[in-house]
Amino acid sequence: THESTGLQSQPPPEEQNYGATAAHVRQGPFVSVSRNAPAKRDYLIAAVLCYANLINFMDWFIVAGILLDIQKYFKLSDGSTGLLQTVFILCYMLAAPIFGYLSDRYNRKIILGAGIFFWSGVTLGSSFINELYYWIFFLSRGLVGIGTASYSTVAPTIIADLFEEGKRTTMLSVFYIFIPVGSGLGYVLAAGMADITGDWHWAFRVTPCMGGLALVLLILLVPHRTQRRTAAHRALSISGTIRVAAEKPGVHRTPKTTWCQDVISLGKNWSFVWSSLGLTAMAFVTGALGMWVPVFLYRAQVVQGLVPPCVRESCNLSNSLIFGGITVGTGILGVIAGAEAARRLRKINNKADPLICATSMFVSALCLYIALMMAQTNILSTFIFIAFGELFLSVNWAVVTDILLYVVTPRRQSTAIALQILVSHLLGDAGSPYLIGTISRAIQEKNAHSFQWSFWSMQYSFILCSFVGACGGAFFLLTSFYIEEDRKEAQQ
């Protein structure tokens, strides 16, 4: 007799495959019968969540889009300016596990709604801060990070609960594609509003209105209680909390292990360790680029005599617009190209995934180095090589996740993702904007104050990103030495 647990039609967790690895699952007697085809309402709910994710990442990168104006308004040094993104990322990183814990136990719709309302309200409030109270502006960025964490950790779990295995992978991919799109549009919105109104404060008044619409749609369309699947059905959540199926008689269970035992086991999994360090290097580079590239390009143009020094209330923000467009295009193209390259090359080489990641990191580091060297003489070439650098960085996002999913046994995957998120943010993009800014400030202080040294200081500090990118390539290369052995062990 079958109990109506919703589990009898599924393989046990060890036989589940996620992401692109699902293509390799052998055909077995298990057929999913637990749920009918997704209703139109499910797609509508997913669309609302994707729209809110778009606003989420637009808010994330608004500051970077008008960094010149903010730096001038609050009279910030490069080091202090870099701290803005560091405060945001640290608050985001520390709040995410808390909201993951809460979302497992309490109503997710309320957490989502409260998060959207909170971050929209703080963003709107930050547009009225006086130049004398720059510390309140820093505090507001930290609070926006907390609001963002409440959304990023909860929304993917709702999408994962709405759709079956095949559809679920597709819908989560669509959800995550709004990360580069939202990031790029954040630059475009910020620069565009500052240019149209002549006042950068207006950039912080658009996304709260969009957030208000998202909140209304959430209240109207998302049911008060969304059906929660058990862990065997659930796609991995970004929150990193462990979800296990409820105890049911007759349902196969894996032996329970403590969190410490899981962490020790993951520490011995060299494919996981090296690929996580590779991801950390990627996060370091993308965090620094996202914050500082528009400012660097502006300083290069001043040195070349292409634009006048910024002394007006509103600075020339065309670089933010162009960089935003590049981020959107290369993000979408890179994620799709990386997944497709992995799918094809995996058929002929078992080490294809880490080798793709290593190659793309080396090429990206080289492109960024060339862009830095060309900046003083040819701004068009600089834009082109920055675009290629971002493209090859974006290739890795989907592939790195796939590596984790097949080298870690399913009952430890949530813990693995939690650790990977923590390490990649803590050692990556949480500190890189501040570190680049601090190095730049230190170089400026040792030399005569001039536009030339203002440019050189940023150029020299950015070389660190090329070095870290090359290190990331080396980490992925090391992953390839262990990946076959770790994959077999995880499958067993």
CA torsion through residues 294, 299, 301, 302, sign: positive
pLDDT digit string (tens) for 408-421? 887 777 677 768 87
Least confident of 108-117, 196-205, 224-233, 414-423: 224-233
Domains identified in the chain and CATH numbers:
39-234 (1.20.1250.20), 258-491 (1.20.1250.20)
Instruction: Please give the pLDDT value at position 23.
Output: 39
Instruction: Please give the pLDDT value at position 165.
Output: 55
pLDDT band at 449 (very low <50, low <70, confident <90, very high): confident
Instruction: Please give the pLDDT value at position 26.
Output: 38
Taking residues 258-267, what's their average pLDDT? 83
Least confident of 152-166, 229-243, 332-346, 359-373: 229-243
b/e 445-483 (16+ beta carbons within 10 angstroms → b)? eeeeeeeebbbbbbbebbebbbebbbbbbbbbbbbbebb
Checking if the pLDDT of 246 tops 50, the result is no
pTM, two decimals, is 0.74
Residue 71: CA count within 13 A, CB half-sphere:
21
Instruction: Please give the pLDDT value at position 5.
Output: 34
Who wins on pLDDT, 20 or 60?
Answer: 60
Query: Residue 453 belongs to what H/E stretch?
Result: helix 451-491
Place of tokens 């990641």: 357
Looking at the chain, the whole-number percentage of residues with pLDDT higher than 70 is 82
**475: CB partners within 8 A, 6+ apart:** 274, 275, 277, 278, 281
Nearest partner of 116 among 92, 87, 91, 144, judged by Cα? 144
Instruction: Please give the pLDDT value at position 138.
Output: 92
CA torsion through residues 391, 392, 393, 395, sign: positive
Backbone angles phi, psi at 427, to 5 degrees: -95, -10
Long-range contacts of the stretch 12-17 (C-beta < 8 A, 24+): 12/232, 12/252, 12/254, 13/231, 13/232, 13/254, 13/410, 13/411, 14/254, 14/409, 14/410, 14/411, 14/491, 16/232, 16/410, 17/405, 17/406
Least confident of 143-147, 165-169, 230-234, 247-251: 247-251
Instruction: Please give the pLDDT value at position 236.
Output: 43
